[in-house]
C-alpha cells in the first residue's frame, strides 16, 4: 500500500520567514496530494492541494510543488504569521481510490 | 451550510464498555470516511461508507470495530469491549463524490479516552 513520509516533525521559524515542509510517497499510482492544517482540538482543514498533472500551485502565501519522478511534494509558506502555527499534514490518494494516506505531521511554530 | 458534525466531542469509557461515535456528513454528501489519530501521529484510514454500504473497511480492525451509515441518520462507528489502546481521536470526513476530484471535509473529531 501507499506510504507517506513527512519531514521535519517540528519546525520553528521567526515571523516573516518562510517555512518548507517536505513529503515523499511510495505508490506511483497516487495522483492527488492535499495539505491539511490542524489546530489544537480541531479537525484537519484543507489548505491547498495539487494533482499529478501540474508541478506547482500557489494560493497567496501558500504554494505546493510536486516532483512525480522523485515522488515527493512540498509545502511552502512565505511571510509566516503567528496564526500559521499549527500541525500540518500532507496526504496522498490514488486515482481510483477513496482513502487518504497521511504523513506523520509537522508541528510549525511561528515566533512573533 | 453546516460542516461535518461529530458527537460526542469527548467520550470516556472504562475497559470493556462500548463506545458509539456519531458522524453527520455535510448536506448533500453521501460518502463518509472514518480515520483514527493516535497522539502525535497522522490520521490512519479506517473505513469508507456510502449510504447503507461499506465500500472499503481495509483499515478497520477485524474484531470489536464496526461501522454503519444507514439510509436515515448519522454514520456510527462502534467499538465494543474497548481497551486502553483504543484511546485516540476519531475523525469523520465526508465528500460529495468519491475519488481524488472530491475534497474530503473533516469534522472536529471525537476524543475517546479509555480508563
**pLDDT tens-digit series, residues B79-110:** 999 999 999 999 999 998 776 667 889 999 99
Question: Are A44 and B56 an interchain contact pair (Cβ–Cβ within 8 Å)?
Answer: no
What distance, in Å, lies between the first and last C-alpha atoms of chain A?
41
Q: How confident is the model at residue A1 (pLDDT cuts 50, 70, 90)?
A: confident
Interface test with B, best of A43, A48, A103 (most B CBs within 10 A): A43
Mean pLDDT computed over every residue of chain A: 93
pLDDT at site B39: 84
Unique residue bearing C-alpha cell 484511546: B87
- pLDDT tens string, chain B, 115 residues long: the values are 579 999 999 999 999 999 999 999 999 899 999 999 998 888 999 999 998 899 999 999 999 999 999 988 999 999 999 999 999 999 999 998 776 667 889 999 999 999 9
Q: Cα angle vertex B92, ends A37, B62, to 5°? A: 120
Q: Model confidence over A34-86: pLDDT tens digits? A: 999 999 888 999 999 998 888 899 999 999 999 999 999 999 999 999 999 99
pLDDT at site B99: 67
Q: Is the CB of A98 inside 8 Å of chain B's CB atoms?
A: yes
How many inter-chain contacts (A to B, CB under 8 Å) are there? 65
Which residues are within 8 A (CB) of B37 and not within 5 positions of it... i.e. 6 or more apart?
A: B43, B44, B88, B89, B90, B91, B109
Amino acid at each position: 500500500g501507499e506510504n507517506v513520509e513527512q519531514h521535519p516533525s517540528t519546525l520553528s521559524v521567526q515571523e516573516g520567514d518562510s517555512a518548507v515542509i517536505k513529503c515523499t510517497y511510495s505508490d506511483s499510482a497516487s495522483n492527488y496530494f492535499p495539505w491539511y492544517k490542524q489546530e489544537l482540538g480541531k479537525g484537519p482543514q484543507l489548505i491547498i492541494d495539487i494533482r499529478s498533472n501540474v508541478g506547482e500551485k500557489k494560493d497567496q502565501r501558500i504554494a505546493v510543488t510536486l516532483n512525480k519522478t522523485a515522488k515527493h511534494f512540498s509545502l511552502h509558506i512565505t511571510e509566516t504569521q503567528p496564526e500559521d502555527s499549527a500541525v500540518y499534514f500532507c496526504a496522498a490518494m490514488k486515482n481510483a481510490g477513496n482513502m487518504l494516506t497521511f504523513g506523520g505531521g509537522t508541528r510549525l511554530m511561528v515566533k512573533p | 451550510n453546516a460542516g461535518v458534525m461529530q458527537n460526542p466531542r469527548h467520550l470516556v469509557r472504562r475497559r470493556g464498555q462500548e463506545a458509539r461515535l456519531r458522524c453527520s456528513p455535510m448536506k448533500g454528501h453521501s460518502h463518509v470516511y472514518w480515520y483514527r489519530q493516535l497522539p502525535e501521529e497522522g490520521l490512519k484510514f479506517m473505513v469508507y461508507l456510502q449510504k447503507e454500504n461499506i465500500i472499503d473497511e481495509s483499515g478497520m480492525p477485524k474484531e470489536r470495530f464496526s461501522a454503519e451509515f444507514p439510509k436515515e441518520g448519522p454514520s456510527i462507528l462502534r467499538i465494543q469491549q474497548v481497551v486502553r489502546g483504543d484511546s485516540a481521536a476519531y475523525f469523520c470526513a465526508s465528500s460529495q463524490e468519491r475519488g481524488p476530484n472530491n475534497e474530503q471535509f473533516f469534522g472536529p473529531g471525537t476524543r475517546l479516552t479509555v480508563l
